Structure 1
Amino acid sequence: MTTTTNAPRRQLRRAQLRPVLPFITLAALYVVTVLISPGYLEAAQIGSLLQLAALLGVVAIGQALVILISGIDLSVGAVVTLVNLTTAAVLDGNDANLPLALLASLAVGAAAGLFNGAVSLSR
């Protein structure tokens, strides 16, 4: 009598499932969120989430480039927060200040990047 095991099949299924598992988890979290707060199905909310995801995507690409050149930069989150605070402070609830807020934010972000670069190169 021969016995066959299903271990190779289970390993194959796990290997096939591994790349899609983050998407399944994301979908499950979204479903739970919609059940808790039905307003998440509204078009305005989905648009807002996509805008935030786009911003985080740009930051993630920048961080990936740093990691690709064998570095690590833990200040990315702090610099993004500093730029956001600068923008909010300059805008001060007045949309007419938008050009000035954009220039101030770019200047603060560039200054933080220049400082980080100088500190990194000095080591």
Structure 2
Amino acid sequence: MNSVDIALKETLEIGGALGAALVDFTSGMTLGTAGNPHSLDLEIAAAGNTEVIRAKLRTMESLGLQDTIEDILITLGRQYHLIRLLQSHSGRGLFIYLVLDKSRSNLALARHRLRSIEGQLDV
């Protein structure tokens, strides 16, 4: 099992996790997915969330913000969609996408676990 598979497996162990993907936001392509493919098309979600990141980066550039995106949270009625950009040198251009069941998850703990998983990921 490679580092991506291990990271996605650990991501799915986060309380309330429904699906996860490791995505290259320069291309919108997934490097791996985990979860129930019948409940959520992670390939389509990855491509769509790539556009969210690109839009935020353009906005930051327009505002002259010299900063980085740590994560982006999208709160839906029944789910959290968490986008965690990898900050390591080898992870530039990548993000972990995590879908959580809102009623069964702890958002603070999920963010903490994603930081930890990111630190162990070698891509």
- TM-score, normalising length: structure 2: 0.33
Which one has a larger percent helix, Structure 1 or Structure 2?
A: 1
Which one has a larger percent strand, Structure 1 or Structure 2?
A: 2
- In terms of Rg, which structure is larger? 1
- TM-score, normalising length: structure 1: 0.33
